[in-house]
A and B are shown apart, each in its own frame.
Chain A
Amino acid sequence: MSKKQSNATKQANAQRAAERAAAIRREQEAKERRRRTLWVSLAVLAVIAVVVAIAVGVQSGRDTTGEAATPPDGAVDTYALPMGPADAPVKVSVYEDFMCPFCGEFEAATRKSLEEYAGQGEVQVQYHPISILDDASNGTDYSTRAMNAAGVVLDNAGPGVAKKFHDLLFENQPEEGSDGLSDQQLIDLAVRAGADESAVSRPIQDLEFEQWVENATDAASKAGVNGTPTVMVDGKIVEATSTIDQLVSDTLGTIEATLKKE
């Protein structure tokens, strides 16, 4: 009945009070930590979001795809070098990159047959160069330079010479990952194909048709071309197969079948 608490009780009370205080402190610390985590997270996420938004704007500005470009005289379908008569019953589009080794194989395997079809007036071949392997030439952008040169030759010397130049580019195809042919080598091949050196030198060096190259590549991508070589017969893609031999025989087979239907 004594009002005086025993020493033991006092001690126990003091300990409880200390524990309560510690618990409150812990809780405050935890709260503080959560608050800090939240703010740091929001700040970092906001920075990421802003940087991504700015970068999208910058990249979109750097990407000149789709800006107006004058196609070379003589181009068909805006972006292609034609071989064979425009009124041929079957149109064959060949999408290729001058740096692409598989395209070189495809060219070597199909050239004779396609030339025969074109010569007989049965097929118009539309060679669509595109530039997707610029990063495979040690920074010299060979794909773009070669396609620009093809455009220059077409513009200056017409489809016949351009086709010959196109063939020469594949016959002298540089190894993927090398510097590619130099501008001077491109000019020499253009002259060998029959172009006038004084007419083609400057525009080959100055990339006169660079924007046309870019737009061609984008148009091909929108048309469903996801790699090279891609072949279309009358606008329909000949499905890519695991080997070039297969693609060659599928291509020639599809042309035969389409001709029979005509």
Chain B
Amino acid sequence: MVTTQTRPAGHTLWSWAGAAARLIVGGVWLVAGVLKVPDPAGNVRAVRAYQLLPESVVPTVGYALPILEVLVGACLLIGLLTRVNAVLSGLLLLAFIVGISAAWARGLQIDCGCFGGGGGPAANASDKYPWEIGRDLGLLLLSALLVWRPRTPWALDNRVLP
């Protein structure tokens, strides 16, 4: 009798939770990215508003972020290279959490620009920071789940990486 080390055929509760995490995190990235792509100048201003990066790299980051979000989101949604993309997703979220926290700590009143816009009303912006950080922490947790258990049902990985 030969026992092979293939993964168990049955999907566990964790793997279904992972599939849900993939759809939630991937969906949020895709929407966030797609909403931002039409306005490159606005993205550059939104990045600049955080006052964290030197002006020389601000435009490139502003142009690159939305498309990176779209790609990471799409890969997570279809379950392609789940672990790698979950790592990318986690890194992006960490960067945003740091950015918003830094803005909050320094008393900046900025629209996070998370879903486009950026540089909205000056009043009451800081009231939203806790909720924005909480949302990003939740997404970070889901990304971490996918780094830990990248195998999920309904994922392209199951075909291209058997």
Interface residues of A (CB under 8 A from B): 22, 26, 29-30, 33, 36-37, 40-41, 44-45, 48, 51-52, 55-56, 59-60, 62-65, 100-102, 132-136, 214, 217-218, 221-222, 224-230, 239-244, 247
Contacts and interface: CB of A to CB of B under 8 A. Distances in A.
Given A37-B161, A217-B45, A44 B81 contact: yes
Interface in B95-152: 107-111, 116-127
Interface in B77-92: 80-81, 84
Contacts of B111: 226-227
Interface size class of B (residues with CB under 8 A): 35 or more
Nearest to B122: A227
Contacts of B66: 59
B161 A62 contact: no
Nearest to B160: A40
B153 interface: no
Contacts, number: 126
A100 B121 contact: yes
Contact of A44 (B84, B117, B120): B84
Interface stretch (B14-22, B23-31, B56-64): B56-64
A89 to B, nearest CB: 26
A52 B71 contact: yes
- In the complex, the 3 A-B pairs of residues with the closest C-beta atoms, listed nearest first: A227-B122, A55-B67, A59-B63
A30 B84 contact: no
A182 to B, nearest CB: 22
Given A51-B71, A135-B117, A226-B49, 4 more contacts: A44-B75, A134-B39, A227-B122, A228-B119
Nearest to A37: B161
8 contacts: A56-B63, A56-B67, A59-B63, A63-B41, A132-B120, A135-B39, A222-B55, A242-B127
Nearest to B55: A222
Contact of B63 (A55, A224, A240): A55
A228 B122 contact: yes
